[in-house]
Structure 1
Amino acid sequence: MIADAIRTCVLSREEAPRDGLIRLVLGPDNAVHPDVRAKAPGRGAWIGVSRAEFEAGHAKGRLRGGLARAFKTGDFTLPDDLGDRIEEQLRRQALDRLGLEAKAGHVVTGSDRIGDNARAGRLHLLLHAADAGVDGARKLAQAWRVGRDAEGSDLKGLALPVDRTILSMALGRENVVHIGLIDARAAARVSQALDRWLRFIGPERATLPCETGSQGASTLTGDARGPAGTNEGF
């Protein structure tokens, strides 16, 4: 994917790098399908809004109008469950990315191993299951700050909107409660996938009880993202 390619959201009409947007494609069945990996053939359109804004635009007909302009035709079917399908693809992409990084050796799990890597300055991204304990998550975040010589900073972990069962399945490991990324580029790739997912589902659903991880991927303060919020190095 070309990192600096700019596209326009069909709902907000705002321009943004396409890496941060979601592609919709007009399929051969004349139906609109999500294409979050932006690889499917066919004429595409882009959205960069939250699910609440997407559903409002859908209900008011603005989504159909924007897609008709992008597709240069009004002859298409707009599924009622399109929002669900977009969300599921974003969720799957994020979890698949975590699984790939785990297979590549860029992920550590278990509080002891994550804590050791954090205090040694090798941790680049810290994630927690939705049902992670607050105390355990807080201790790992503190170890991360110690390793980065960042006492008093807002360097935190991120609680994901899935529980330990889902994370364990995604990584092919048992009882995954906490996840540490120990490679900077891998952390950037995971952060990008998480950012699109969490921004689409909205802050209300992305904010979870784990107090060390409710801020959303776009505000991670490690080096998981490039300068000025870009995805440099992808």
Structure 2
Amino acid sequence: MTRGGRDHTREDGPERKCLATGEVQPKTGLIRFVVGPEGQIVPDLAGKLPGRGLYVSSERTALDKAAKKNLFARGAKQPVQVPEGLSDLLEQMLAKRVIELISLARKSGEAVAGYEKVKGWLQTEEATVLIQAEDGSGRGKTKLSTPYGGRYIGWLTADELGSAFGRQTVIHAALGTGGLVPRIVEDAMRLKGLRGPSQPATTSGDRGGKIRRKG
């Protein structure tokens, strides 16, 4: 896995060139931008806004370089306005997006929270993703292992996870196999590139497997 959170073992799909690094890589590891009607650079996290896409790796260093060296204007072939503090803005947007997606997964029965429920899903192999709060107790987190062939997310805070589950704080959570899960993992990996590396409590069950969409 690269520092930006891209995992080459999963199905990466179409590739695009990063404005900052010049590297051609899967779109899943990039953030798409478009030029707005007034010449402003607009992040397109869902990848649905009209216009020519400009792509930058979901890493803070790449985004800072693109903003500082006016690479968005070069890619767009026109003058553009880049939001101040672009990396911080994107971190906030991605965190909100991941929290909202986890909340939707919870409402559809694709996510659970709490040590015992998560442990149960891991034991019955219902879980494909283990999520643990970055600021949770290290000792407590080591008691749960990443699902075999599954994924680990460990860079959300207890408050953020709590917000996703309608609680004050949450330390342990798990995702099942529903259609929202690949989207959550993809956006969480983008967020990881902006927050820095985070290691799972235990990697005994993490084999770097794929998370596939149903159907």
* TM-score using structure 1 length: 0.74
Instruction: Quote the residue 2:73 is aligned against.
Output: 68
SS of 1:112 mapped into structure 2? helix
As a proportion of its length, which structure holds more helix?
Answer: 1
Cα deviation for residue 125 of structure 1 reads: 0.9
Pick the structure with greater CA Rg. 1
- Work out which of the residue numbers 51, 57, 60 in structure 2 matches 1:48: 57
Bigger drift between 78-87 and 94-103 goes to 78-87
Secondary structure of 2:25's partner? strand
Question: 2:194 maps to which residue?
Answer: 200
Q: Deviations over 1:142-196 (max 9, x none)?
A: xx66xx5x9xxxx88432232x222111222454211011226544332211111
Contact 1:137–1:157, Cα closer than 8 Å, also in 2: no
Unaligned 5+ residue runs, structure 1?
227-231
Measure the CA separation in 1 of the matches of 2:151 and 2:67.
Answer: 36
CA deviation string 1:32-53 (max 9, x = no partner): 1212112223333110151023
**Cα root mean square deviation, aligned:** 2.8
Give the structure 2 partner of residue 229 of structure 1.
Answer: none
- Which sits farther off after the overlay, 109-118 or 75-84? 75-84
Deviation at 1:72, TM superposition (A): 2.2
Percent sequence identity over matched residues? 25
Q: In the alignment, what sits opposite 1:82?
A: 86
Give how far 1:128 is off: 0.7
Q: How does 1:1-234 map to 2 (within 5 A)?
A: 4-59=13-68, 61=69, 64=70, 66-73=71-78, 75-141=79-145, 148=148, 157-162=152-157, 164-183=158-177, 185-203=179-197, 207=198, 212=201, 221=207, 223-225=209-211
2:9 aligns to what?
Answer: none
How far off its partner does 1:54 sit? 2.3
User: 2: CA distance between counterparts of 1:127 and 1:53?
Assistant: 26
Residues of 1 paired with 2:54 and 2:84: CA distance? 18
Which residue in the other structure is 2:7 paired with?
A: none
Which protein has greater RCO, CA pairs closer than 8 Å, 6+ apart?
2
Count of residue pairs brought into register by the alignment: 202
Q: Distance in 2 between matches of 1:193 and 1:136?
A: 26
Q: Which amino acid aligns with 2:127?
A: L
- Looking at structure 1, the residues matched to 214 and 29 of structure 2 have their Cα atoms a distance apart, in angstroms, of 15
Secondary structure of the residue aligned to 1:169 is helix
Structure 2 unaligned spans of 5+: 1-11
Q: Is the 8 A contact 1:126 1:158 kept in 2?
A: yes
The answer to whether the 8 A contact 2:133-2:154 is kept is: yes
Maintained 8 Å contact 1:124/1:180: yes
Distance in 2 between residues matched to 1:170 and 1:67, nearest whole Å: 33
Structure 1 residues 15 and 176: CA distance shift in structure 2, 3 A: same
* Matched-pair contact (CA < 8 Å) for 1:31–1:77: yes
